[in-house]
Chain A
Amino acid sequence: MVRTEEMLLNVGPQHPSTHGVFRLVVKIDGEIIQEATPVIGYLHRGTEKLAEDLQYTQIIPYTDRMDYLSAMTNNYVICHAVETLMGLEVPEKAEYLRVMAMELGRIASHLVWFGTYLLDIGATSPFLFAFREREAIINLLNELSGARLTFNYMRVGGVKWDAPEGWIDKVREFIPYMRKELEGYHDLVTGNEIFLNRVKGVGTYTKEDALQYSLSGANLRCTGVNYDLRKEEPYSIYDRFDFDVPTEETGDAFARYQVRMAEMEESLKILEQAVEQFPEEGNILGKVPRVIRPPEGEVYVRIESPRGEIGCYIASDGQKEPYRLKFRRPSFYNLQILPKLLKGENMANLVVILGGIDIVLGEVDG
């Protein structure tokens, strides 16, 4: 019998598999994790404090830097909160542009997750494929907004730029291309036995746990809870599209993989319909006062980001700047379950479980 001894091991903050600056202090006995303590805050920039001195339009670029893999949804959530508080109407064309941008962003975000997750597990080539396709999306969003990642595209009451000529056709061409590539991913990865051995039955939790820990997004849907804010409380124009909410029952890392892969296909479905319905004519910015001054009051809105439920709370005192701005950041909430999942696991499963949650540290730290 080999004798083992407890050891304290620091994973991160500079570790590629933590996808940012995240530190995990693990107590291991042999290869078994006894206790894991997450340490966060390395990327805390005080967005909420900064926002108290900024006008609403000036805050939008800051939201790009929270969840930098799907900045479009972050852009949307603050615009949506202000619009809800002011009772503004957004032109139809702007809503279509927003939805297309958000769904493209969702696919891009899931592609980064797919690529890096497989890379964490040990497969190199899916990463290259995923980033090739993501590049196509980023080029599309670049043409639309003028930036590759930090778009700063949406405005209160609409969007900043109209779609350039031929952009809609490019999106239309992208959809079948992406569908084909997704099939390739499934051929390459989904049936792969090594992959399945690594993810099946790993990091399992129940529906009750998921609700108890306030999980959202794919982390919640993998336990069989059919909950997607695009369906439950349709915001923007999501009620016009026909799409499904993929769920799985097992609640393990493989279930989360399947949910995210299926979500990309659903996003393509939404894009397909949006491209067909897109109105060529119309305004891209509604009737918005030059200085945005929401009335006194408070508002809390939630939308579905690729990582889960992203919320925005604004308390306004009638000034140009928000009195208090708070983002409900899904990664921050989702990460809380990690110590529970890691306890008693093999050390080699650490990155499988952490990667499966799909966090972005810019969002965790706010």
Chain B
Amino acid sequence: MTTEENNKKPREEDAVDQKKRKSNESEKNEIGAQKEGAGDIKSDKRAKSKKERPNMQDKEGPMKQKRPGKKTDVEEHKEEESPSPKEPLLKKYVALIHEHLGENSLEDAYINRASKELPTLIVQPESYFSIARLLKTHQELQFNYLSELHGTDFKEYMEVYVHLYSFARKEHIALKVKLDREKPIIHSLVPLWEGANWPECEAYDLLGIEFKNHPDLKRIFLGEDWEGYPLRKDYEPYDVEV
């Protein structure tokens, strides 16, 4: 195997490479490293850095937002004086989804206050499509416009973020689903919105998320022979220096 081939493969990095890398980059390569068995020390490191981070923030000054995924109602009220004006709407959405698709279809629901008071639903992968369909077709929801769809690699999981808008009600909603990072497969939204076609190809191309029932899932930007998925956090660029 030539050195070039070695470089291309993100999974098989060796220990020498690891040392060379700058310290702030080390976190990005954790997953690759963990797989090799060097995980224990590394994961300790991550746990530490996670604890430290909020402290650092406090020193920085008047930043009051927090990580959205871990918000609970109690904490929210502590930090923000007034409850969000969108709170009743969110309750309504959650009630409707529970009514139609069962209590287990939603993982979490909260208002993303930093993002202009955006109601956000985290849904179970199995009910992702049916919730999207309910949001689009239900008379009291009518989210008929897909504004945005993309994926993100959050290291522990892969996330698909969908932003919907209702022209009839002039309301927004964000729909998020957490997928298994090693095997991210999810139902395509193209049967509901044709506009999801290329964005899903983009997520497939750059993050390797597979969309079931997509009419033509292909690498839309990179070549078909491209190795790896560039927007994944453990992606190793062909030429590390660039």
List residues of chain A with CB under 8 Å of any chain B CB. 40-41, 44, 46, 48-49, 84-87, 211-215, 225, 227, 232-233, 289, 293-302, 309, 311, 313, 315, 317-318, 323-324, 326, 328, 332-333, 335-337, 365-366
Asked whether B163 is an interface residue with its Cβ less than 8 Å from the other chain, the reply is yes
Report yes or no: B53 in contact with A296, Cβ–Cβ below 8 A.
yes
Are the C-beta atoms of A295 and B57 separated by less than 8 Å? yes
Least Cβ–Cβ distance between B178 and chain A, in angstroms: 13
B window 116-131: CB within 8 A of A: 116, 118
Kindly list chain A residues whose C-beta atoms are within 8 Å of the C-beta of B153.
324
**Contact present for A87 and B167 (CB under 8 Å):** no
Residue B152 CB within 8 A of the other chain: yes
Q: Is the CB of A225 within 8 A of B167?
A: yes
Bound: A301/B172 CA distance, A: 11
Most buried by B among A49, A86, A318: A318
Interface pair A212/B220, CB less than 8 Å apart: no
Closest to B112 in A: A298
Q: When the two chains form their complex, are residues B193 and A328 in contact, meaning their CB atoms are under 8 A apart?
A: no
A298 adjacent to B198 (CB under 8 Å) = no
Q: Find the A residue at minimum CB distance from B174.
A: A300
B63 in contact with A295 (CB, 8 Å): yes
User: Nearest 7 CB-CB pairs, A to B?
Assistant: A214-B195, A41-B221, A295-B63, A44-B221, A295-B65, A297-B65, A299-B115
Q: Which of A309, A336, A366 contacts B147 (CB 8 A)?
A: A309
Chain A residues within an 8 Å CB radius of B66: 295-297
Nearest chain A CB to B46 CB, angstrom units: 12
CB-CB under 8 A from A318, the residues of chain B are 53-54, 56-57
> Which of chain B's residues have a CB closer than 8 A to the CB of A300?
115, 118, 148, 161, 163, 174
Q: A44-B221, A214-B145, A296-B57 are in contact. Are A333 and B195 (CB under 8 A)?
A: yes
Residue-wise, chain B 52-82 has the 8 Å CB interface mask toward A (1 for contact) of 0110110011111111100000000000000
Q: Mask for B105-119, Cβ within 8 A of A = 1, else 0?
A: 000000010111010
Chain B residues with CB under 8 Å of A40's CB are 220-221
- Contact B150 A313, beta carbon cutoff 8 Å: yes
Q: In the docked arrangement, what's the CA distance between A227 and B153, Å?
A: 33
Q: Which residues of B contact A309 (CB under 8 A)?
A: 147
How distant is the Cα of A318 from the Cα of B64 in the complex, in angstroms? 11
A84 touches B114 (CB 8 A): yes
Q: Which listed residue (B62, B167, B198, B206) contacts A211, Cβ 8 A?
A: B167
The answer to whether A297 touches B198, judged by C-beta atoms less than 8 angstroms apart, is no
Q: Per a CB cutoff under 8 Å, which of A225, A227, A297, A335 touches B112?
A: A297
Residue tally, chain B, CB below 8 Å to A: 46
Chain B residues, Cβ within 8 Å of A296: 53-54, 57, 65-67
A230 to chain B, nearest CB (A): 15
9 residue pairs from A and B, CB less than 8 Å apart: A87-B62, A293-B57, A297-B66, A297-B114, A323-B152, A324-B152, A326-B152, A333-B199, A336-B197
- Asked whether A84 lies within 8 Å of B115 as measured between CB atoms, the reply is yes
Q: Are B221 and A289 in contact (CB under 8 A)?
A: no
A295-B66, A313-B161 are contacts. A46–B230 as well, Cβ < 8 Å?
Answer: yes
Instruction: Knowing A40-B220, A326-B150 are in contact, say whether A289-B67 is a contact too (CB < 8 A).
Output: no
Q: A328: which of B115, B147, B206 is its contact (CB, 8 Å)?
A: B147
Given the complex of chains A and B, what is the CA–CA distance between A293 and B199 in angstroms? 29
| B31 located at the interface, meaning its Cβ lies under 8 Å from any Cβ of chain A in the complex | no
Q: Are B147 and A302 in contact (CB under 8 A)?
A: yes
> What mask results when residues 146 to 165 of chain B are scored 1 for a CB within 8 Å of chain A, else 0?
11101011100000010100
Given A296-B67, A300-B118: A49 touches B231 (CB 8 Å cut-off): yes
Nearest chain B CB to A102's CB is how many angstroms away?
19
- A313-B56 contact, Cβ under 8 Å, with A232-B170, A298-B114, A300-B163: no
Question: Nearest chain A CB to B59's CB is how many angstroms away?
Answer: 10
B194 at the interface (CB under 8 A from A): yes
Q: Which residues of B contact A289 (CB under 8 A)?
A: 60-61
Within 8 A of A (CB), among B198-232: 198-199, 202, 206, 220-222, 230-231
A213–B152 CB distance below 8 A:
no
Residues of B within 8 A of A227 (CB): 167
Query: Nearest chain-B residue to A302 (Cβ)?
Result: B147
CB neighbours of A85 from chain B (8 A): 65, 114-115
Given A295-B63, A298-B68: A211 and B152 within 8 A (CB)? no
Residues on B with beta carbons closer than 8 Å to the beta carbon of A336: 194-195, 197-198
The verdict on A41 contacting B220 (CB below 8 Å), with A85-B65, A317-B53 known, is yes
Residue among A211, A233, A294, A315 making CB contact with B144, cutoff 8 Å: A211
CB-CB under 8 A from A212, the residues of chain B are 193-195
A220 to chain B, nearest CB (A): 9
Q: Smallest CB-CB separation from B62: which chain A residue?
A: A87
Closest A residue by C-beta to B115: A299
- Chain A nearest CB, measured from B48 CB (Å): 15
B-chain residues with CB within 8 Å of residue A293 when the two chains form the complex:
57, 60, 63
Complex Cα–Cα for A302 and B60 (A): 28
Cα(A328)–Cα(B152), bound, Å? 14
Shortest distance from the beta carbon of B97 to any chain A beta carbon, whole Å: 21
Beta-carbon contact of B231 and A315 below 8 Å = no
In the bound complex, do residue A214 and residue B60 qualify as a contact, i.e. CB atoms below 8 Å apart?
no
Closest chain-A Cβ to B47's Cβ sits at a distance in Å of: 15
